[in-house]
Amino acid sequence: MLCWQLCGIESVSAATLFDAELLASVEALVIRTRRVRSGPIHGEHRANESGSGLEFREHRPYTPGDELARVDWNVYRRTGKLYRRLADVMRDLPVRIHVDLSDSLWHESPARADAARVAAFTIAAIARGHEDEAHVFVCGASNEEPVRVRGQAGLIQLAEVLDQATPRGRTDLAACFEAAASYRRRRGLSVIVSDFFDPRGLTAFATALRESGERLLLLRVHTPRDREGGTPGEVTLVDCESGAELELDLDQAGLDAYRAAYAAFETAFDEMLLELGAAGLVIDASAPLLPQLEALFPAGSLVL
Amino acid sequence: MNFRTFDNSTFAMLLGAGAAALAVLHLLRVRRHRRSVPSILFWQSVVRTTRARSMAGRFRHPRTYAFLVLLLAVLLGALAEPVSTASTQARALVLDAGKASSQCLDELRARAVEHGALRAETAFIIARGGSMSIFAPGSSVAARRDALDQLQVGEGVDALAPLIERAAALVRARAMAEVLVLSPRSFTTDSVGLRVLHDVPRKLDVAALLPPNEVVAAAAPSNFSLNVDEALPLALRALQELPGVAQVDAVGLPRVSIKVGVPGLTIADRSIVASSVSGVHSALHEAPLPPLSASVQIGVQVMPGERVLLRAGDVPLVVMRRDAAQEATLFLQADLFAQGSHAANDTTLMALLVDWIHAAARHQLPVATITAGQSSALSCVADLSVLHSEKSVAATYTASTGALAMIEPSTAGPSSVQGHASADLLVQWPRMESAPAAITPPQQVSALALWELLALAALTLLVFDAALHARGRIP
């Protein structure tokens, strides 16, 4: 029996996700980058190419063969020299959102999967609000086709997909991230929403992230109980995902050991953020999500 | 404290083995709760910590273990039938009143009193040079006093070694028992008496059933004298709670002495008759039984295959028959009849018989098997079947617990009872040529009898269980 069934979790509904108040709250939030790779779709982010446009970038000396239309005749009139006037090209930011819905996120009640889904939906909504195309990948034991969020219709479809999502088995973040490689022909922003309880550890996943060259935003969903570890006693611990069992005579020393291990995990996560130059946020699944997400956007924008 | 069933080392060994078994069970006792966790990734280090302390960490309920060991000790103690040694300092006193004591009889008598000859718990032997009186522990103090008052110096001289052995046999089941010999003979530097501290071994092999050549010197070699009183002091207690027995309040029935091999059968119709048995008593006693208040001593001579009928007034009490087939076997058969014209109705008789069995079992005839009817039973257990009028009433006596399961009195009052109670008791001794049986004297079982120990254990268990529940240790 799956964990979420055991726990009797009431999953969030599409109505909850596609909440007008939520959408209005995140409308003012924006994800900014200094440059994006050139692409075919117009957006709000400066591309690393220059061309025609309204946003002046620089003047360059005219060389034979350049388009005469780019010559800034006002400069020629003042200086008698030919210069080309170059402007920034504005392109969209490809956003890939990986939301981990493996069994471990459905373990408690309320499930941290709820917070993960709402966070993924919110990031997608922020991207859509600024003409960025987002692809949302639902991670688990099997990886399916992503949901493309481009307009309002895509956002509604995403809400429905997330609403109907069920526990997806074991966590394998690296595999999930690798499965989305074909969607990363243009470098963009990868958002990973997970508890990061990956049996393979963080190292393999960090390597995959590093090699992607993506801008990264890691949202780690946790609950306060993760840090506590429970109460002492003679217990058989059952892994929610693998079903593996561990018999323990749990006393205070054992709990201290667990807490130390969990603290080491949190430290490793922070160090991974620093190493990757990624933005990150630890989301408390038992607390309201929006205030936590807003903390990620100081002055309304998240600069990556 | 000693134990009747086990010796101390066996008890300790059993307790140790039980405690070890409990410890193993305690270590293996795990009641785990299943708990689902998002990931056991972080618990791996806890496993390493747990394994580091392994077995010691498993032993998490030392108080429970201590309680179980205590419970085991109590149960073992109950099975072992503890005997207190502190409260009953066993002593056997031998007074040598043979020919050599003619000059100091008064002094011997005084010393005997001084050393507890008149105390009921003291085994007391008066050896008169060829005859002797034996007072087992628990026997009548009045009889002792009478014996001392009427003490006369005998003509012969007894060997002291058998006397000491016999005295030791009377206290053999008690640790640190002592045998005190009062004799003027110069077998030691002390010309008056010898005090022998005799730490009686548990399996002392002594001749407590006297060989004929020691006691009945004048008799034929095949004869022997059995002083049943050594094993069966048939002191009947008052049975006021039973109807129709008010007049049998102080029956001191008797040492029954049987001499085998001497021709003749003594039967009296209306009284208990004791024939003179050389070496035990010198006088013929005839004591009219009604009102059953006399304390008499009787001796009955029995031929192999013959029967002796003892009567208490109109009531035949005991028929004893010497079995000819087995030389060393003595059948005691009790046929009890209640006559309507006699005050001692069948209830009285049944009480007498039960008390007789009680006495036999209480003395734990060590090699005797007591059977009831056709069914055999272990020693110290006697079943008594009573056929009363048209209904059958059963009384079961179990010596180990001292409980009389049921004894149903018949209709009360004289002249109204017609009943019949019978019981066949088979008492077997080993053949005389083999190791003679030792007589176990009465023992003082400690205050905690078996049922009391069990009740205490159960009570302790309940209290402990309640305490655990109160503290929430047991869900």
Is residue B438 domain-resident? Answer: no
CB contact under 8 A, A248 and B40: no
Q: State the total domains in chain A.
A: 2
Shortest Cα distance, chain B CAs vs residue A267, angstroms: 13
Q: Does B203 touch chain A (CB under 8 A)?
A: no
CB contact under 8 A, B46 and A258: yes
pLDDT digits (tens, 9 = 90+) for A195-210: 999 888 888 889 888 8
CB distance B349 to B334 below 8 Å: no
CB atoms within 10 A of CB B269: 10
Is residue A86 domain-resident? Answer: yes
B455 and B421 inside one domain = no
Is residue A40 domain-resident? Answer: no
B325 and B391 inside one domain = yes
Q: Does A263 touch chain B (CB under 8 A)?
A: no
Q: Report how far residue B172's alpha carbon sits from residue B205's, in angstroms, rounded to the nearest whole number.
A: 10
B244 and B387 inside one domain = yes
C-alpha distances in Å from residue B2, one per residue of A88, B201, B203, B438, B457:
107, 13, 14, 19, 20
Is residue B371 domain-resident? Answer: yes
Q: Report how far residue A219's alpha carbon sits from residue A216's, in angstroms, rounded to the nearest whole number.
A: 10
B353 and B410 inside one domain = yes
Is residue A304 domain-resident? Answer: no
- Comparing A220 with B67, the larger pLDDT belongs to A220
Burial code of B403-438, b = ≥16 C-beta within 10 A, e = fewer?
Answer: ebeebebbeeeeeebebebbbbbbbbbeebeeebbb
Shortest Cα distance, chain A CAs vs residue B463, angstroms: 25
pLDDT digits (tens, 9 = 90+) for B28-37: 666 678 888 8
Q: How would you class B54 by CB atoms within 10 Å of its CB: exposed for 0-12, middle for 13-18, buried for 19 or more?
A: exposed
A80 and A168 inside one domain = no
Query: Mind spelling out the 3-state secondary structure of chain B?
Result: CEECCCCHHHHHHHHHHHHHHHHHHHHHCCCCEEEEECCCHHHHHHHHHHHHHHHHHHCCCHHHHHHHHHHHHHHHHHHHCEECCCCCCCEEEEEECCHHHCCCHHHHHHHHHHCCCCCCCCEEEEECCCCEEEECCCCCHHHHHHHHHCCCCCCCCCCHHHHHHHHHHHCCCCCCCEEEEECCCCCCCCCCEEEECCCCCCCCCCCCCCCHHHHCCCCCCCCEEEEHHHHCCCECCCCCCCCCCHHHCCCECCCEEEEECCCCCCCCCCEEEECCECCCECCCEEEECCCCCCECCEEEEECECCEEEEEECCEEEEEEEECCCCCCEEEEEEEEEECCCCCCCHHHHHHHHHHHHHHHHHCCCCCCCCCECCECCCCCEEEEEEEECCEEEEEEEECCCCEECCCCCCCCCCCCCCEEEEEEEEEECCCCCCCCCCCCCCCCECCCCHHHHHHHHHHHHHHHHHHHHHCCCCC
**Residue among B320, B236, B305, B233 nearest B275 (CA):** B320
Residue B441, token pair as written in the block:
């004297």
Residue B61, token pair as written in the block:
């309920």
B248 and B308 inside one domain = yes
Choose from A100, A195, A205, A239 for mutation: most chain B CBs within 10 A: A239
pLDDT digits (tens, 9 = 90+) for B273-288: 333 222 222 223 333 3
A174 and A222 inside one domain = yes
CB contact under 8 A, B39 and A237: no
Q: Does B51 touch chain A (CB under 8 A)?
A: no
The vertex-A230 CA angle with A226 and A233, nearest 5°, equals: 150
Complex ipTM: 0.79
Residue A271: predicted pLDDT? 92
B256 and B362 inside one domain = yes
Residue A41, token pair as written in the block:
């779709």
Confidence of residue A235 (pLDDT cuts 50, 70, 90): confident
Please list every residue in chain A whose beta carbon sits closer than 8 Å to the beta carbon of residue B52: none
Q: Does B50 touch chain A (CB under 8 A)?
A: yes
A72 and A132 inside one domain = no
A132 and A170 inside one domain = yes
Give the phi and the psi of residue A125 in degrees, each rounded to 5: -65, -40
Burial code of A44-72, b = ≥16 C-beta within 10 A, e = fewer?
Answer: bbbbeebeeeeeeeeeeebeeeeeeeeeb
Residue B335, token pair as written in the block:
């046929």
CB distance B342 to B313 below 8 Å: yes
CB nearest to A258's CB, from B30, B35, B43: B43
A286 and A145 inside one domain = yes
Is residue A15 domain-resident? Answer: yes
Please list every residue in chain A whose beta carbon sits closer than 8 Å to the beta carbon of residue B58: 249
The vertex-A159 CA angle with A158 and A161, nearest 5°, equals: 60
CB distance B315 to B349 below 8 Å: yes
Q: State the total domains in chain B.
A: 3
Residue A68: predicted pLDDT? 83
Query: Mind spelling out the 3-state secondary structure of A33-79?
Result: CCCECCCCCEEEEEEEEEEEEEEEEEEEECCCCCCHHHECHHHHHHH
CB contact under 8 A, A234 and B34: no
A74 and A121 inside one domain = no
Across all residues in chain A, what is the average pLDDT? 83
**Residue among B235, B214, B237, B245 nearest B295 (CA):** B235
CB contact under 8 A, B38 and A261: no
Helix axes A202-212 and A252-276, enclosed angle (nearest 10): 10
Averaged pLDDT, A158-180: 86
The contacts of residue B30 (CB under 8 Å, 6+ apart) are A234, A247, A249, B58
B104 and B187 inside one domain = yes
B305 and B283 inside one domain = yes
Q: Report how far residue A42's alpha carbon sits from residue B135's, in angstroms, rounded to the nearest whole number.
A: 126
A119 and A220 inside one domain = yes
Query: Is the confidence at residue A295, as pLDDT, over 50?
Result: yes
CB nearest to B40's CB, from A230, A239, A249: A239
B152 and B69 inside one domain = no
CB contact under 8 A, A261 and B44: yes
CB nearest to A258's CB, from B42, B53, B60: B42
CB atoms within 10 A of CB B58: 16
B193 and B275 inside one domain = no
CB nearest to B43's CB, from A234, A248, A253: A248
Q: Which amino acid is at B436?
A: P
Please list every residue in chain A whose beta carbon sits closer than 8 Å to the beta carbon of residue B54: none
Q: Report how far residue B324's alpha carbon sits from residue B330's, in angstroms, rounded to the nearest whole number.
A: 9
Q: How would you class B300 by CB atoms within 10 Å of its CB: exposed for 0-12, middle for 13-18, buried for 19 or more?
A: buried
CATH assignment of the domain containing A102: 3.40.50.410
CB contact under 8 A, B39 and A241: yes
A63 and A148 inside one domain = no
CB contact under 8 A, A254 and B32: no
Q: Does A248 touch chain B (CB under 8 A)?
A: yes
Window B:7-46, CB contacts with A under 8 Å: 30-46
CB nearest to B35's CB, from A230, A244, A254: A230
Residue of B nearest to A200 (CA): B41
Q: Report how far residue B224's alpha carbon sits from residue B133's, in angstroms, rounded to the nearest whole number.
A: 16
Residue B175: predicted pLDDT? 55
CB distance B128 to B147 below 8 Å: no
Window A:104-143, CB contacts with B under 8 Å: 104-105, 107-108
Longest dimension (CA), chain A: 89
Please list every residue in chain B whose beta carbon sits closer than 8 Å to the beta carbon of residue A238: 34-37, 40
Q: How would you class B203 by CB atoms within 10 Å of its CB: exposed for 0-12, middle for 13-18, buried for 19 or more?
A: exposed
Confidence of residue A272 (pLDDT cuts 50, 70, 90): very high
CB contact under 8 A, B42 and A253: no
Please list every residue in chain B whose beta carbon sits closer than 8 Å to the beta carbon of residue A251: 57
Q: Does A230 touch chain B (CB under 8 A)?
A: yes
Shortest Cα distance, chain B CAs vs residue A233, angstroms: 8
A196 and A112 inside one domain = yes
Please list every residue in chain A whose beta carbon sits closer than 8 Å to the beta carbon of residue B33: 233-236
Residue B269: predicted pLDDT? 27
B54 and B200 inside one domain = no
CB contact under 8 A, B45 and A240: no
Shortest Cα distance, chain A CAs vs residue B26, angstroms: 14
Is residue B475 domain-resident? Answer: no
CB contact under 8 A, B60 and A249: yes
Q: Report how far residue B43's alpha carbon sits from residue B40's, in angstroms, rounded to the nearest whole number.
A: 5
Is residue B307 domain-resident? Answer: yes
pLDDT digits (tens, 9 = 90+) for A75-106: 899 998 889 888 877 788 889 999 999 999 88
Is residue B267 domain-resident? Answer: yes
Helix axes B141-149 and B105-114, enclosed angle (nearest 10): 160
- Quickly tell me which residue has 């609403």 as its tokens: A163
Q: Which amino acid is at A118?
A: V
CB contact under 8 A, A262 and B44: no
B177 and B72 inside one domain = no
Query: A57 lies in which domain range?
Result: 48-91
Is residue A231 domain-resident? Answer: yes
Residue of B nearest to A237 (CA): B35
A188 and A156 inside one domain = yes
Residue of A nearest to B40 (CA): A239
Residue of B nearest to A257 (CA): B46
Is residue B260 domain-resident? Answer: yes
A223 and A87 inside one domain = no
Residue B104: predicted pLDDT? 76
Q: In what order do the strands lie in the sheet with B91-96?
A: B132-135, B123-127, B91-96, B178-182, B193-196
**Residue among A216, A231, A134 nearest A177 (CA):** A216
A139 and A74 inside one domain = no
Residue of A nearest to B33 (CA): A235
Q: Does A303 touch chain B (CB under 8 A)?
A: no
Q: Which residues of chain B have pLDDT under 70?
A: 1-7, 28-31, 48-61, 80-89, 161-162, 165-166, 168-177, 184-455, 462, 465-466, 468-475
Is residue B436 domain-resident? Answer: no
CB distance A280 to A217 below 8 Å: yes
Is residue A42 domain-resident? Answer: no
Please list every residue in chain B whose beta carbon sits closer than 8 Å to the beta carbon of residue A3: 36
| Dihedral, CA of residue B4, residue B7, residue B10 and residue B13, to nearest 10 | 100
CB contact under 8 A, B42 and A262: yes
Residue B43: predicted pLDDT? 87
Is residue A302 domain-resident? Answer: no
Is residue B434 domain-resident? Answer: no
CB distance A128 to A41 below 8 Å: no
CB contact under 8 A, A197 and B49: no
**Phi-psi domain of B344 (left: phi exceeds 0; alpha: psi -120 through 50; beta: other):** beta
C-alpha distances in Å from residue B441, one per residue of A50, B22, B160, B396:
122, 37, 20, 23
Query: B106 lies in which domain range?
Result: 91-206
